[in-house]
Structure 1
Protein backbone atom coordinates (compact mmCIF):
# COMPACT_ATOMS: atom_id res chain seq x y z
CA UNK A 1 0.00 0.00 0.00
CA UNK A 2 2.85 2.37 0.78
CA UNK A 3 4.33 2.13 -2.70
CA UNK A 4 0.85 2.65 -4.18
CA UNK A 5 0.63 5.92 -2.24
CA UNK A 6 4.09 6.87 -3.48
CA UNK A 7 2.96 6.12 -7.04
CA UNK A 8 -0.10 8.38 -6.58
CA UNK A 9 2.18 11.09 -5.18
CA UNK A 10 4.45 10.84 -8.22
CA UNK A 11 1.60 10.92 -10.73
CA UNK A 12 -0.06 13.88 -8.98
CA UNK A 13 3.24 15.78 -8.91
CA UNK A 14 3.86 15.10 -12.61
CA UNK A 15 0.36 16.30 -13.50
CA UNK A 16 0.80 19.43 -11.38
CA UNK A 17 4.25 20.22 -12.73
CA UNK A 18 3.10 19.66 -16.30
CA UNK A 19 0.16 22.02 -15.75
CA UNK A 20 2.50 24.78 -14.54
CA UNK A 21 3.38 25.68 -18.13
CA UNK A 22 -0.28 25.82 -19.13
CA UNK A 23 -1.11 27.95 -16.04
CA UNK A 24 1.01 30.75 -17.53
CA UNK A 25 2.09 32.21 -14.22
CA UNK A 26 -1.24 31.38 -12.55
CA UNK A 27 -3.12 33.62 -14.98
CA UNK A 28 -5.30 30.76 -16.30
CA UNK A 29 -7.84 29.35 -13.85
CA UNK A 30 -8.23 25.67 -14.78
CA UNK A 31 -4.52 24.86 -15.17
CA UNK A 32 -3.82 26.81 -11.97
CA UNK A 33 -6.37 24.72 -10.08
CA UNK A 34 -4.80 21.55 -11.48
CA UNK A 35 -1.42 22.73 -10.16
CA UNK A 36 -2.77 23.48 -6.69
CA UNK A 37 -4.80 20.28 -6.34
CA UNK A 38 -2.06 18.15 -7.89
CA UNK A 39 0.62 19.39 -5.52
CA UNK A 40 -1.77 19.06 -2.58
CA UNK A 41 -2.47 15.42 -3.41
CA UNK A 42 1.22 14.78 -4.08
CA UNK A 43 2.39 16.15 -0.73
CA UNK A 44 -0.35 14.43 1.28
CA UNK A 45 0.40 11.07 -0.33
CA UNK A 46 4.16 11.59 -0.01
CA UNK A 47 3.80 12.44 3.67
CA UNK A 48 1.78 9.25 4.26
CA UNK A 49 4.53 7.14 2.68
CA UNK A 50 7.00 8.53 5.20
CA UNK A 51 5.35 6.46 7.92
CA UNK A 52 7.00 3.42 6.35
CA UNK A 53 9.63 4.48 3.81
CA UNK A 54 12.69 6.46 4.98
CA UNK A 55 12.46 10.10 3.86
CA UNK A 56 15.61 9.96 1.73
CA UNK A 57 14.43 6.91 -0.18
CA UNK A 58 10.88 8.20 -0.65
CA UNK A 59 12.06 11.61 -1.83
CA UNK A 60 14.73 10.18 -4.13
CA UNK A 61 12.13 7.92 -5.73
CA UNK A 62 9.48 10.65 -5.92
CA UNK A 63 11.75 13.25 -7.42
CA UNK A 64 13.74 10.88 -9.67
CA UNK A 65 10.74 9.21 -11.26
CA UNK A 66 9.01 12.60 -11.45
CA UNK A 67 11.95 14.13 -13.33
CA UNK A 68 11.93 11.36 -15.91
CA UNK A 69 8.14 11.49 -16.36
CA UNK A 70 8.05 15.29 -16.61
CA UNK A 71 10.76 15.14 -19.27
CA UNK A 72 8.55 12.68 -21.16
CA UNK A 73 5.52 14.94 -20.81
CA UNK A 74 7.60 17.90 -22.02
CA UNK A 75 8.55 15.90 -25.09
CA UNK A 76 5.03 14.53 -25.76
CA UNK A 77 2.90 17.60 -25.01
CA UNK A 78 5.19 20.57 -25.49
CA UNK A 79 7.50 19.33 -28.23
CA UNK A 80 10.62 19.76 -26.11
CA UNK A 81 13.62 17.88 -27.40
CA UNK A 82 16.15 15.82 -25.50
CA UNK A 83 19.72 15.36 -26.69
CA UNK A 84 21.94 12.35 -26.07
CA UNK A 85 23.46 13.79 -22.91
CA UNK A 86 19.99 14.48 -21.50
CA UNK A 87 18.82 10.95 -22.32
CA UNK A 88 21.92 9.47 -20.66
CA UNK A 89 21.32 11.65 -17.60
CA UNK A 90 17.71 10.51 -17.35
CA UNK A 91 18.89 6.91 -17.72
CA UNK A 92 21.30 7.44 -14.82
CA UNK A 93 18.45 8.83 -12.71
CA UNK A 94 16.39 5.71 -13.45
CA UNK A 95 19.37 3.50 -12.61
CA UNK A 96 19.86 5.36 -9.33
CA UNK A 97 16.23 4.98 -8.32
CA UNK A 98 16.33 1.27 -9.13
CA UNK A 99 19.55 0.73 -7.18
CA UNK A 100 18.26 2.60 -4.15
CA UNK A 101 14.97 0.70 -4.13
CA UNK A 102 16.07 -2.78 -5.16
CA UNK A 103 19.61 -3.16 -3.83
CA UNK A 104 20.20 -0.68 -1.03
CA UNK A 105 19.72 -1.91 2.52
CA UNK A 106 18.35 1.53 3.35
CA UNK A 107 15.15 0.97 1.38
CA UNK A 108 12.17 -0.97 2.67
CA UNK A 109 12.09 -4.36 0.92
Structure 2
Protein backbone atom coordinates (compact mmCIF):
# COMPACT_ATOMS: atom_id res chain seq x y z
CA UNK A 1 0.00 0.00 0.00
CA UNK A 2 2.87 2.37 0.77
CA UNK A 3 4.12 2.00 -2.79
CA UNK A 4 0.71 3.16 -4.00
CA UNK A 5 0.94 6.16 -1.67
CA UNK A 6 4.34 6.95 -3.17
CA UNK A 7 3.06 6.63 -6.74
CA UNK A 8 0.09 8.92 -6.09
CA UNK A 9 2.39 11.36 -4.24
CA UNK A 10 4.54 11.53 -7.36
CA UNK A 11 1.55 12.15 -9.62
CA UNK A 12 0.25 14.86 -7.26
CA UNK A 13 3.62 16.57 -7.26
CA UNK A 14 3.77 16.45 -11.06
CA UNK A 15 0.29 17.99 -11.31
CA UNK A 16 1.25 20.71 -8.82
CA UNK A 17 4.50 21.52 -10.59
CA UNK A 18 2.77 21.64 -13.96
CA UNK A 19 0.16 24.01 -12.54
CA UNK A 20 2.94 26.13 -11.04
CA UNK A 21 4.02 27.12 -14.54
CA UNK A 22 0.41 27.91 -15.46
CA UNK A 23 -0.19 29.93 -12.29
CA UNK A 24 1.99 32.74 -13.71
CA UNK A 25 3.47 33.68 -10.36
CA UNK A 26 0.29 32.82 -8.45
CA UNK A 27 -1.61 35.48 -10.41
CA UNK A 28 -4.14 32.96 -11.80
CA UNK A 29 -6.53 31.48 -9.23
CA UNK A 30 -7.32 27.97 -10.49
CA UNK A 31 -3.72 26.91 -11.25
CA UNK A 32 -2.64 28.42 -7.91
CA UNK A 33 -5.24 26.33 -6.06
CA UNK A 34 -4.04 23.21 -7.90
CA UNK A 35 -0.46 23.99 -6.83
CA UNK A 36 -1.33 24.30 -3.14
CA UNK A 37 -3.60 21.25 -3.04
CA UNK A 38 -1.28 19.16 -5.22
CA UNK A 39 1.78 19.79 -3.07
CA UNK A 40 -0.24 19.25 0.11
CA UNK A 41 -1.55 15.89 -1.11
CA UNK A 42 1.88 14.93 -2.38
CA UNK A 43 3.68 15.59 0.90
CA UNK A 44 0.92 13.94 2.93
CA UNK A 45 1.06 10.76 0.82
CA UNK A 46 4.86 10.81 0.84
CA UNK A 47 4.73 10.88 4.64
CA UNK A 48 2.47 7.82 4.60
CA UNK A 49 4.82 5.99 2.23
CA UNK A 50 7.66 6.63 4.68
CA UNK A 51 6.05 4.21 7.14
CA UNK A 52 7.76 1.31 5.37
CA UNK A 53 10.03 2.82 2.71
CA UNK A 54 13.30 4.36 3.95
CA UNK A 55 13.30 8.14 3.54
CA UNK A 56 16.39 8.18 1.32
CA UNK A 57 14.90 5.63 -1.07
CA UNK A 58 11.41 7.15 -1.09
CA UNK A 59 12.71 10.67 -1.70
CA UNK A 60 15.06 9.52 -4.46
CA UNK A 61 12.23 7.72 -6.23
CA UNK A 62 9.78 10.60 -5.62
CA UNK A 63 12.13 13.24 -6.97
CA UNK A 64 13.64 11.15 -9.79
CA UNK A 65 10.40 9.84 -11.24
CA UNK A 66 8.76 13.23 -10.70
CA UNK A 67 11.56 14.95 -12.59
CA UNK A 68 11.25 12.56 -15.53
CA UNK A 69 7.47 13.00 -15.66
CA UNK A 70 7.78 16.79 -15.44
CA UNK A 71 10.16 16.70 -18.41
CA UNK A 72 7.54 14.76 -20.37
CA UNK A 73 4.76 17.17 -19.36
CA UNK A 74 6.94 20.15 -20.28
CA UNK A 75 7.61 18.62 -23.67
CA UNK A 76 3.96 17.80 -24.44
CA UNK A 77 2.09 20.64 -22.71
CA UNK A 78 4.54 23.53 -22.92
CA UNK A 79 6.50 22.53 -26.05
CA UNK A 80 9.81 22.75 -24.21
CA UNK A 81 12.74 20.83 -25.65
CA UNK A 82 15.79 19.28 -24.05
CA UNK A 83 19.29 19.01 -25.45
CA UNK A 84 21.33 15.80 -25.51
CA UNK A 85 23.14 16.57 -22.25
CA UNK A 86 19.89 17.26 -20.42
CA UNK A 87 18.37 14.04 -21.73
CA UNK A 88 21.48 12.08 -20.75
CA UNK A 89 21.38 13.52 -17.24
CA UNK A 90 17.73 12.62 -16.86
CA UNK A 91 18.48 9.15 -18.18
CA UNK A 92 21.08 8.73 -15.45
CA UNK A 93 18.53 9.82 -12.84
CA UNK A 94 16.04 7.25 -14.14
CA UNK A 95 18.78 4.60 -14.13
CA UNK A 96 19.50 5.47 -10.50
CA UNK A 97 15.83 5.12 -9.57
CA UNK A 98 15.65 1.73 -11.29
CA UNK A 99 18.80 0.63 -9.47
CA UNK A 100 17.26 1.69 -6.15
CA UNK A 101 14.14 -0.29 -6.98
CA UNK A 102 16.15 -3.45 -7.60
CA UNK A 103 18.55 -3.23 -4.69
CA UNK A 104 16.64 -1.51 -1.89
CA UNK A 105 15.05 -3.76 0.73
CA UNK A 106 12.58 -1.01 1.69
CA UNK A 107 11.19 -0.54 -1.80
CA UNK A 108 9.83 -4.10 -2.06
TM range (shorter): over 0.9
Provide structure 1 residue ranges, at least 5 long, that are not aligned to the other structure: none
TM-score (norm. length: structure 1): 0.95
Supply the distance in 1 between the matched residues of 2:21 and 2:87 (Cα, whole angstroms): 22
Tell me if structure 1 keeps the 8 A contact 2:3–2:107. no
Deviation at 1:44, TM superposition (A): 0.4
Q: What is residue 84 of structure 2 aligned with on the other side? A: 84
Deviation at 1:82, TM superposition (A): 0.8
TM-score (norm. length: structure 2): 0.96
Residue deviations 1:48-76 (CA, integer Å, cap 9, x gap) = 00111000000000000000000111111
Supply the distance in 1 between the matched residues of 2:27 and 2:44 (Cα, whole angstroms): 25
- The CA RMSD over aligned residues, in Å, is 0.9
1:51 has 2:51 as partner: yes
Q: What is residue 11 of structure 1 aligned with on the other side? A: 11
Provide structure 2 residue ranges, at least 5 long, that are not aligned to the other structure: none
Q: What SS does structure 1 have at the residue aligned with 2:37?
A: helix
Q: What SS does structure 2 have at the residue aligned with 1:44?
A: helix
Runs of 4+ residues over 3 Å off in structure 1? none
Count of paired positions: 108
Residue deviations 1:12-66 (CA, integer Å, cap 9, x gap) = 0000001001101111000000000100110000000011100000000000000
